[in-house]
Structure 1
Amino acid sequence: MDCNFEQIAEAIRYVEANKPRQPSLAEVASHLGLSQLYFQHMFTAWAGISFNRFLEFLSVGYAKRVVEEENFSRPVAACTTGSSCACGLHAPVVHIDGMTPDECRGGAAGLQLHYVFSQSPFGELIVASTGKGVCYAAFADGGREAAIRSLQAAFPLATLQEHPDVHNTCAARIFQLDGTGVDEVRLHLKATPFQVKVWKELVEVPVGHLTTYLQLAHSIGNARASRAVGRAVACNPVALLIPCHRVIHSSGRIGNYHWGPERKAAIIGWEAALCTSCTTGC
């Protein structure tokens, strides 16, 4: 059964907007213009669990229970970085290197960027890379032409070419859930040393787990830097591979996301459902 992620996102958006009265599955399906049976089948095919069960993973209570864990050994965090598990999810090791001042200077003049488009369970992405690693990955919500313009705006003087290479192809395979054999992914990012430090810590947060800005600040050895950590997380140029969607507020509130709060909720719930389904095999 085909799954339009926009319908998934709209369902989550509708439930969130009407949370006080807890709309029924039938009401959500009606809002989407679908039958209840069709929506349930479509959603289960996408998430692997029912819509109502999925919503439990988005509750404040669930989020708070996860972030209160002091280590990443709980069952929902079983799909760890650098491993494969019974559910078929492969989490490669992510290496992060910052661009040199010369590479960043003057709008990245002289850089040759190769880009491809890739499908994912959460919508299409544009993925760009230099000769040293992936430098950019963003959801192409406004269409491909708009995505290319945004990439060019991020690297104004770089030369862009739509062309698969070893780096963007590895990333695309991971996004398409076909990452078997991809043991590592290299990122080559325009960033400050502090941003690189935060992002390196963030890629260690396993699939299915959540952290907070305060926990990240503690983990980099600066408990008073939670605001600066928040700014670094918000500047993440590589969707999914640097999992900024796994950072929530200490209150358990999911919070904002560059590519939409409903997409953040969808990714969090999807990852939790996936890892919960394979805890005995990870």
Structure 2
Amino acid sequence: MTVAIETALPAAADRFERPESADRFTYELMAAAIELIEDQAADHPSLETLAARMGLSPAHFQKLFTRWVGVSPKRYLQWLTLDHARALLRERHTVLDATYATGLSSPGRLHDLFVRWEAMTPGEYARGAEGLTLRWGLFDSPFGEALAFGGDRGLTGLAFTAEVGRGTAFADMASRWPRATLVEDAGALAPWLDAAFQRKGTAPLQVIGAPFQLKVWEALLAVPTGHVTTYSDLARAIGNPGAVRAVGTAVGKNPLSWLIPCHRALRKGGALGGYHWGLGVKRAMLAWETAALETGRDAA
């Protein structure tokens, strides 16, 4: 199906359906458990309370959650708190070199996943991606449902619908390329999403943004998995230390969440700051990466 986004956004958003998966029941159960833990984090719910809400025995819930997420419910809960963010800033704060050269024409490396980085030309960006055909689809991810967009050269957009909803996420992403043509084709994007979330293959990025935004986004690629940075350090990294507010805006406009790791940017005092797809998603990403780093498993 091909749609002109100026006229068919509501219809496309209304048609969204969840993709099928081989282990749908377990996925839905663990997604609900993670959401419950995030919602109740301030109350520090016990294992027994969480298990009862999931309709499982404490032992079975602990075993299933640990196998699926990689850490125990208690440990995951600890990583969702503000204290966790502050500890990351204190212990794993990557101070980016103020003389960091972005080199947008060169390949970028995304944490432990190799990614080909190719930016849209300024002319293409100014024309609102006119003449480009972008494919889109819905996928499961460790952070809930993901909405992906991609062109012939790679992924152009990745959003998360858990907190903002499918229709809002779709309209938000599509508005970034107001003159592109959208085609629903999840199959064409599936290999790239496997690379993004399951470390199977390579995820090329066709990055679409203004030159200043591109500099900020590539600086984010230099922050390792399980580490964080600050908006002021990002500003210094791109050679513009006075542009902290503009850097924050560029971080928020990142079209490829998770792949370009804007979730690793924190405020100077350790607060999470904002996150375009919801703070619950950002907390989950930081917790997931901490689990990956501390347990030695792949972050993806």
Tell me which interval the TM-score lies in, with the shorter structure as reference length: 0.7 to 0.9
Residue 109 in structure 1 maps to residue 130 in structure 2: yes
Give the equivalent residue in structure 1 for 2:39. Answer: 13
Structure 1 33/163 Cα, relative in aligned 2: closer, same or farther at 3 Å?
same
Deviations 1:103-128 (A, max 9, x none): 442x4332211223322111222211
Q: Distance in 1 between matches of 2:33 and 2:93?
A: 35
Q: Distance in 2 between matches of 1:145 and 1:211?
A: 31
Structure 1 28/250 Cα, relative in aligned 2: closer, same or farther at 3 Å?
farther
Stretch of structure 1 that moved more, 235-244 or 112-121: 112-121
Give the equivalent residue in structure 2 for 1:57. Answer: 79
For structure 1, the residue ranges without an aligned partner over 5 or more in a row are 73-80, 84-89
* Aligned AA (1:14): Q
CA contact under 8 A between 1:98 and 1:193: conserved in structure 2?
A: no
Q: Distance in 1 between matches of 2:110 and 2:210?
A: 26
Residue 93 in structure 1 maps to residue 110 in structure 2: no
* Aligned AA (2:207): H
Q: Distance in 2 between matches of 1:223 and 1:54?
A: 35
CA contact under 8 A between 1:245 and 1:264: conserved in structure 2?
A: yes
Residue 219 in structure 1 maps to residue 237 in structure 2: yes
Number of residue pairs matched by the alignment: 257
Residue 2 in structure 1 maps to residue 26 in structure 2: yes
Q: Distance in 2 between matches of 1:103 and 1:226?
A: 24
Structure 1 152/71 Cα, relative in aligned 2: closer, same or farther at 3 Å?
closer
Q: Distance in 2 between matches of 1:240 and 1:97?
A: 18
1:116 partner SS: strand
Deviations 1:210-255 (A, max 9, x none): 1111221222223222211111111111121111111122222223
TM-score (norm 1): 0.77
Stretch of structure 1 that moved more, 117-126 or 56-65: 56-65
TM-score (norm 2): 0.73
Give the equivalent residue in structure 2 for 1:127. Answer: 148
Let me know the Cα RMSD of the aligned residues. Answer: 3.0
* Aligned AA (1:15): A
* Aligned AA (1:13): D
* Aligned AA (1:199): W
2:26 partner SS: coil
Q: How does 1:52-201 map to 2 (within 5 A)?
A: 52-68=74-90, 69=92, 71=94, 81=109, 90-105=112-127, 107-141=128-162, 148-163=170-185, 168-179=189-200, 181-182=201-202, 185-189=204-208, 191-201=209-219
Q: Distance in 1 between matches of 2:94 and 2:170?
A: 39
Which residue among 270, 273, 277 is the counterpart of 2:288?
A: 270
